Structure 1
């Protein structure tokens, strides 16, 4: 199962990769710069946590004006690469695990200068899920 998911996420011929990468490329192209990629990667680190526009701006070291940042956030939300939080001032990362892994496989090295270890992440998630499932079987 891990080998199949790893292939589908990282291989350009994989069906999952093909579908999600087309979706990602079209949204990133619409936003058209590296700050959008940085925003998505920042929010995807802790996807359940809501971050304020101020926290996102601080992460970008104030490189965007408030209106530029809001415009990018709105475009990323419209493209379903991030989600609106509990107010118009708060945002969360990609809600889909597969989409998150494909996005990070495409852009994490470009932004953070390190390749994510997708295989290790998949193995850890599956191991954790199996252990959790087995705890309840008696």
Structure 2
């Protein structure tokens, strides 16, 4: 996670903000991602909400969650359609992808048939904190994920 992706974290006005230890940074970032008063949450959730409202349905959220998780790779429309179990026609899927791309929540890949999530870990964490439980009936444990990422970096 690069500093440019977390600059809002540095502006945190959370009373318990702590940058003096790894655990303090994780706790502060967890707050900023999940709490509606957080700087990061406020910025990204507003951005996500305005685009999601344009398509306002479960499929757009599923597409964004899928591409966000797979943001390191380009996915074809067929892969996205298969992930949605073919629930959308090709034109419906293309329309939703176009809206998400126009809203800068996904990017066009190397062709008009390929898409990818934007390479921002913070967007992924905030989006999942907002919608993963709704989509997969599973609440993400952001603090545990952040701790695992830090531990992986230590190795």
Q: TM-score, normalised by structure 1?
A: 0.91
Q: In the TM superposition, what is the alpha-carbon distance from 1:128 to its structure 2 partner?
A: 2.2
Q: In the TM superposition, what is the alpha-carbon distance from 1:58 to its structure 2 partner?
A: 1.1
Matches within 5 A, 1:6-85: 6-85=30-109
Distance 1:29 1:102 in 2: 17
Kept in 1, the 8 Å contact 2:26–2:143? The answer is yes
4+ residue runs over 6 A deviation: none
Kept in 1, the 8 Å contact 2:69–2:124? The answer is no
Q: In the TM superposition, what is the alpha-carbon distance from 1:94 to its structure 2 partner?
A: 3.0
The Cα RMSD (Å) is 1.0
Distance 2:79 2:97 in 1: 13
Length, aligned pairs only: 131
5+ long unaligned stretches in structure 2 = 1-24
Q: Which residue of 2 aligns with 1:120?
A: 144
Distance 1:102 1:45 in 2: 12
User: Given the alignment of the two structures, is residue 101 of structure 1 paired with residue 125 of structure 2, yes or no?
Assistant: yes
